[in-house]
Amino acid sequence: MPPEPVDRDYWNSLAETYGRDLLEIVHEAGAGVLRDEIARFAAPEHRVADLGCGPGSLLPFLSKHFREVVAVDYAEELLDAARRRCGERNVTFHRHDLSSGKELRLEVEVACCVNALIDPDRRKREMMVRTVASSVAAGGTVVIIVPALESVFHVYHSLLRCRRRQGSPAGLTEKQAERDLAAEVDSLAGGIVRVGGVPTKYWMREEIAGALEDHELMVKRMRRVEYAWKEEIDDPPAWLLKPQPWDWLVVAQRVTGA
Protein backbone atom coordinates (compact mmCIF):
# COMPACT_ATOMS: atom_id res chain seq x y z
CA MET A 1 0.00 0.00 0.00
CA PRO A 2 1.40 3.47 -0.84
CA PRO A 3 2.58 5.57 2.10
CA GLU A 4 0.45 8.28 3.62
CA PRO A 5 0.84 11.74 2.03
CA VAL A 6 2.85 13.18 4.92
CA ASP A 7 5.22 10.23 5.28
CA ARG A 8 8.70 11.81 5.20
CA ASP A 9 10.27 9.04 3.14
CA TYR A 10 7.48 9.37 0.58
CA TRP A 11 7.93 13.12 0.20
CA ASN A 12 11.72 12.78 0.14
CA SER A 13 11.37 10.32 -2.73
CA LEU A 14 9.49 12.96 -4.74
CA ALA A 15 12.30 15.50 -4.63
CA GLU A 16 13.63 14.81 -8.13
CA THR A 17 10.33 13.91 -9.83
CA TYR A 18 7.91 16.27 -8.09
CA GLY A 19 7.07 18.16 -11.27
CA ARG A 20 6.02 14.93 -13.00
CA ASP A 21 4.33 13.19 -10.09
CA LEU A 22 2.35 16.04 -8.58
CA LEU A 23 0.71 19.08 -10.13
CA GLU A 24 2.95 22.07 -9.40
CA ILE A 25 0.38 24.79 -9.64
CA VAL A 26 2.88 27.58 -10.23
CA HIS A 27 3.79 25.92 -13.54
CA GLU A 28 0.20 25.66 -14.73
CA ALA A 29 -2.40 28.11 -15.96
CA GLY A 30 -3.39 28.80 -12.35
CA ALA A 31 0.05 30.19 -11.61
CA GLY A 32 -1.00 33.65 -12.74
CA VAL A 33 -4.04 33.62 -10.47
CA LEU A 34 -1.93 32.63 -7.48
CA ARG A 35 0.79 35.18 -8.18
CA ASP A 36 -1.78 37.94 -8.69
CA GLU A 37 -3.36 37.23 -5.32
CA ILE A 38 -0.01 37.18 -3.52
CA ALA A 39 1.14 40.35 -5.29
CA ARG A 40 -1.79 42.25 -3.74
CA PHE A 41 -0.05 41.96 -0.36
CA ALA A 42 3.59 42.29 -1.43
CA ALA A 43 5.60 45.16 0.00
CA PRO A 44 9.34 45.89 0.31
CA GLU A 45 9.10 45.80 4.11
CA HIS A 46 7.01 42.62 4.40
CA ARG A 47 8.08 39.09 5.26
CA VAL A 48 6.40 36.10 3.64
CA ALA A 49 6.40 32.40 4.51
CA ASP A 50 5.93 29.53 2.09
CA LEU A 51 4.56 26.84 4.39
CA GLY A 52 4.98 23.43 2.78
CA CYS A 53 7.21 24.90 0.09
CA GLY A 54 8.03 21.54 -1.54
CA PRO A 55 10.73 21.92 -4.20
CA GLY A 56 10.44 25.71 -4.12
CA SER A 57 8.40 26.49 -7.22
CA LEU A 58 7.01 29.67 -5.69
CA LEU A 59 10.21 30.95 -4.08
CA PRO A 60 11.76 32.89 -7.02
CA PHE A 61 8.55 34.93 -7.32
CA LEU A 62 8.34 35.57 -3.58
CA SER A 63 12.00 36.58 -3.29
CA LYS A 64 11.45 39.37 -5.84
CA HIS A 65 8.42 40.86 -4.09
CA PHE A 66 9.15 40.59 -0.35
CA ARG A 67 11.93 41.72 1.94
CA GLU A 68 12.41 38.26 3.43
CA VAL A 69 11.13 34.80 2.49
CA VAL A 70 10.93 31.90 4.92
CA ALA A 71 10.61 28.52 3.19
CA VAL A 72 9.32 25.69 5.40
CA ASP A 73 9.00 21.99 4.68
CA TYR A 74 9.76 18.85 6.63
CA ALA A 75 11.24 16.72 3.85
CA GLU A 76 14.95 17.52 3.71
CA GLU A 77 15.33 16.40 0.10
CA LEU A 78 12.56 18.76 -0.98
CA LEU A 79 14.23 21.59 0.91
CA ASP A 80 17.49 20.75 -0.88
CA ALA A 81 15.65 20.95 -4.20
CA ALA A 82 14.19 24.31 -3.14
CA ARG A 83 17.66 25.61 -2.22
CA ARG A 84 18.94 24.65 -5.66
CA ARG A 85 15.99 26.37 -7.31
CA CYS A 86 16.25 29.62 -5.37
CA GLY A 87 19.51 30.66 -3.76
CA GLU A 88 18.62 34.32 -3.20
CA ARG A 89 20.04 35.88 -0.03
CA ASN A 90 16.64 36.95 1.25
CA VAL A 91 15.38 33.33 1.39
CA THR A 92 15.94 31.16 4.46
CA PHE A 93 15.01 27.49 4.80
CA HIS A 94 13.61 25.67 7.81
CA ARG A 95 12.69 22.04 8.29
CA HIS A 96 9.51 21.80 10.33
CA ASP A 97 6.55 19.44 10.47
CA LEU A 98 3.50 21.71 10.32
CA SER A 99 1.32 18.92 11.72
CA SER A 100 3.49 18.21 14.78
CA GLY A 101 1.91 20.79 17.07
CA LYS A 102 5.33 22.29 17.78
CA GLU A 103 5.50 26.07 17.60
CA LEU A 104 7.10 27.39 14.43
CA ARG A 105 8.11 30.66 16.12
CA LEU A 106 7.41 32.73 13.08
CA GLU A 107 5.40 35.91 12.56
CA VAL A 108 5.09 37.20 9.02
CA GLU A 109 2.78 39.58 7.19
CA VAL A 110 1.88 37.03 4.51
CA ALA A 111 1.85 33.22 4.50
CA CYS A 112 1.31 30.94 1.51
CA CYS A 113 0.19 27.34 1.85
CA VAL A 114 -0.19 25.70 -1.55
CA ASN A 115 -1.58 22.14 -1.72
CA ALA A 116 -0.14 21.33 1.72
CA LEU A 117 -3.37 20.77 3.70
CA ILE A 118 -3.93 17.35 2.15
CA ASP A 119 -3.21 14.88 4.95
CA PRO A 120 -6.07 12.36 5.36
CA ASP A 121 -5.71 12.56 9.15
CA ARG A 122 -8.12 15.22 10.47
CA ARG A 123 -6.09 15.88 13.62
CA LYS A 124 -2.94 16.52 11.63
CA ARG A 125 -4.77 18.87 9.30
CA GLU A 126 -6.11 20.82 12.25
CA MET A 127 -2.60 21.15 13.65
CA MET A 128 -1.38 22.38 10.28
CA VAL A 129 -4.10 25.04 10.08
CA ARG A 130 -3.25 26.11 13.63
CA THR A 131 0.42 26.42 12.69
CA VAL A 132 -0.41 28.43 9.57
CA ALA A 133 -2.61 30.79 11.60
CA SER A 134 -0.05 31.27 14.37
CA SER A 135 2.66 32.08 11.81
CA VAL A 136 0.87 35.23 10.66
CA ALA A 137 0.82 38.52 12.52
CA ALA A 138 -2.53 39.98 13.56
CA GLY A 139 -4.04 41.60 10.50
CA GLY A 140 -1.78 39.56 8.24
CA THR A 141 -2.88 37.51 5.25
CA VAL A 142 -2.80 33.86 4.29
CA VAL A 143 -3.18 32.61 0.73
CA ILE A 144 -4.14 28.95 0.62
CA ILE A 145 -4.80 26.50 -2.20
CA VAL A 146 -6.47 23.14 -1.59
CA PRO A 147 -7.89 20.46 -3.90
CA ALA A 148 -11.64 20.90 -4.47
CA LEU A 149 -13.92 17.98 -3.64
CA GLU A 150 -16.66 19.47 -5.81
CA SER A 151 -14.31 19.25 -8.78
CA VAL A 152 -14.02 15.47 -8.41
CA PHE A 153 -17.76 15.09 -8.98
CA HIS A 154 -17.69 17.64 -11.78
CA VAL A 155 -15.14 15.47 -13.60
CA TYR A 156 -17.33 12.36 -13.27
CA HIS A 157 -20.43 14.21 -14.41
CA SER A 158 -18.44 15.45 -17.40
CA LEU A 159 -17.42 11.88 -18.26
CA LEU A 160 -21.09 10.88 -18.17
CA ARG A 161 -21.85 13.80 -20.45
CA CYS A 162 -19.15 12.65 -22.88
CA ARG A 163 -20.79 9.22 -23.13
CA ARG A 164 -24.24 10.70 -23.66
CA ARG A 165 -23.00 13.12 -26.31
CA GLN A 166 -20.51 10.93 -28.18
CA GLY A 167 -21.57 7.38 -27.39
CA SER A 168 -19.26 4.42 -26.80
CA PRO A 169 -16.33 4.30 -26.19
CA ALA A 170 -16.14 7.91 -24.95
CA GLY A 171 -16.66 8.85 -21.32
CA LEU A 172 -18.30 6.53 -18.82
CA THR A 173 -21.62 4.85 -18.30
CA GLU A 174 -23.35 5.44 -14.98
CA LYS A 175 -22.34 1.97 -13.81
CA GLN A 176 -18.71 2.57 -14.76
CA ALA A 177 -18.75 5.97 -13.07
CA GLU A 178 -20.15 4.48 -9.86
CA ARG A 179 -17.48 1.79 -9.88
CA ASP A 180 -14.58 4.15 -10.57
CA LEU A 181 -15.81 6.75 -8.11
CA ALA A 182 -16.13 4.14 -5.37
CA ALA A 183 -12.54 3.04 -6.04
CA GLU A 184 -11.22 6.60 -6.03
CA VAL A 185 -13.08 8.08 -3.06
CA ASP A 186 -12.08 6.45 0.23
CA SER A 187 -14.42 8.60 2.32
CA LEU A 188 -17.13 10.86 0.96
CA ALA A 189 -17.86 12.34 4.38
CA GLY A 190 -14.18 12.95 5.03
CA GLY A 191 -13.35 14.10 1.51
CA ILE A 192 -10.55 11.54 1.13
CA VAL A 193 -9.67 10.82 -2.49
CA ARG A 194 -6.94 8.54 -3.81
CA VAL A 195 -4.43 10.38 -6.00
CA GLY A 196 -2.01 7.96 -7.61
CA GLY A 197 -3.12 5.48 -4.96
CA VAL A 198 -2.32 7.87 -2.10
CA PRO A 199 -5.18 8.98 0.22
CA THR A 200 -5.44 12.75 -0.12
CA LYS A 201 -7.73 15.30 1.51
CA TYR A 202 -10.04 17.25 -0.83
CA TRP A 203 -12.04 20.18 0.52
CA MET A 204 -15.50 21.59 -0.04
CA ARG A 205 -15.77 25.37 -0.31
CA GLU A 206 -17.69 25.83 2.96
CA GLU A 207 -15.54 23.26 4.72
CA ILE A 208 -12.21 25.04 4.16
CA ALA A 209 -13.80 28.37 5.11
CA GLY A 210 -15.02 26.92 8.41
CA ALA A 211 -11.69 25.26 9.18
CA LEU A 212 -9.86 28.56 8.76
CA GLU A 213 -12.39 30.56 10.75
CA ASP A 214 -12.01 28.11 13.64
CA HIS A 215 -8.42 29.36 13.89
CA GLU A 216 -9.05 33.12 13.64
CA LEU A 217 -8.53 33.24 9.89
CA MET A 218 -11.46 35.15 8.41
CA VAL A 219 -12.07 34.44 4.74
CA LYS A 220 -11.98 37.56 2.58
CA ARG A 221 -12.11 36.01 -0.84
CA MET A 222 -12.40 32.58 -2.44
CA ARG A 223 -12.05 31.66 -6.08
CA ARG A 224 -11.46 28.72 -8.37
CA VAL A 225 -8.05 28.01 -9.82
CA GLU A 226 -8.82 25.98 -12.91
CA TYR A 227 -6.45 23.56 -14.61
CA ALA A 228 -6.50 21.69 -17.89
CA TRP A 229 -8.94 18.87 -18.60
CA LYS A 230 -6.01 16.72 -19.73
CA GLU A 231 -4.94 16.46 -16.09
CA GLU A 232 -8.12 14.47 -15.37
CA ILE A 233 -9.30 12.98 -18.69
CA ASP A 234 -7.28 11.25 -21.37
CA ASP A 235 -7.88 12.91 -24.76
CA PRO A 236 -10.63 15.29 -23.61
CA PRO A 237 -12.95 16.38 -26.45
CA ALA A 238 -12.43 19.87 -27.85
CA TRP A 239 -16.00 20.87 -26.96
CA LEU A 240 -15.42 20.18 -23.26
CA LEU A 241 -14.65 23.69 -22.09
CA LYS A 242 -15.72 25.60 -18.97
CA PRO A 243 -15.78 25.03 -16.16
CA GLN A 244 -12.52 23.10 -16.08
CA PRO A 245 -11.42 21.09 -13.03
CA TRP A 246 -10.32 23.37 -10.22
CA ASP A 247 -8.68 23.88 -6.84
CA TRP A 248 -9.93 26.34 -4.25
CA LEU A 249 -7.86 29.46 -3.64
CA VAL A 250 -8.66 31.16 -0.34
CA VAL A 251 -7.49 34.54 0.92
CA ALA A 252 -8.00 35.02 4.66
CA GLN A 253 -6.96 37.54 7.29
CA ARG A 254 -5.72 36.80 10.80
CA VAL A 255 -8.20 38.35 13.22
CA THR A 256 -7.31 37.62 16.83
CA GLY A 257 -10.17 37.17 19.26
CA ALA A 258 -12.67 36.51 16.48
Tens-digit pLDDT profile for residues 145-154: 999 999 999 9
β-pairing verdict for 192-195 and 185-187: antiparallel
Model confidence at 230: pLDDT above 70: yes
Distances, alpha carbon 13 to alpha carbons 21, 82, 94, 135, 139, in Å:
11, 14, 19, 28, 37
Mean local confidence (pLDDT), 108-112: 97
Mean local confidence (pLDDT), 131-158: 97
Residue pair 211/149 in contact by the 8 Å Cβ criterion: no
pLDDT tens per residue across span 1-51: 333 444 555 444 444 444 444 445 544 667 788 999 999 999 999 999 999
pLDDT tens per residue across span 40-62: 999 999 999 999 999 999 999 99
Helices 149-166, 174-184: crossing angle, 10 deg rounding: 160
Q: To the nearest whole percent, how much of the chain has pLDDT over 90?
A: 81
Helices 205-213, 122-134: crossing angle, 10 deg rounding: 60
Residue 20: the pLDDT is 40
Model confidence at 78: pLDDT above 50: yes
The SS3 call for residue 89 is coil
3-state per-residue secondary structure call for 149-170: HHHHHHHHHHHHHHHHHHCCCC
> Which CATH fold would you assign to the domain 8-148+203-254?
Rossmann fold (3.40.50)
Residue pair 88/63 in contact by the 8 Å Cβ criterion: yes
User: Model-level pTM?
Assistant: 0.89
- pLDDT grade for 118, boundaries at 50, 70 and 90: very high
Model confidence at 248: pLDDT above 60: yes
Model confidence at 110: pLDDT above 90: yes
Burial 89-101, CB ≥16 within 10 A → b, else e: eebebbebbbbee
Q: Is the dihedral of CA 89, 130, 208, 187 positive or negative?
A: positive
Residue pair 140/256 in contact by the 8 Å Cβ criterion: no
Mean local confidence (pLDDT), 135-139: 96
- pLDDT grade for 103, boundaries at 50, 70 and 90: confident
Give the Cβ contact number of residue 247 at 10 Å. 26
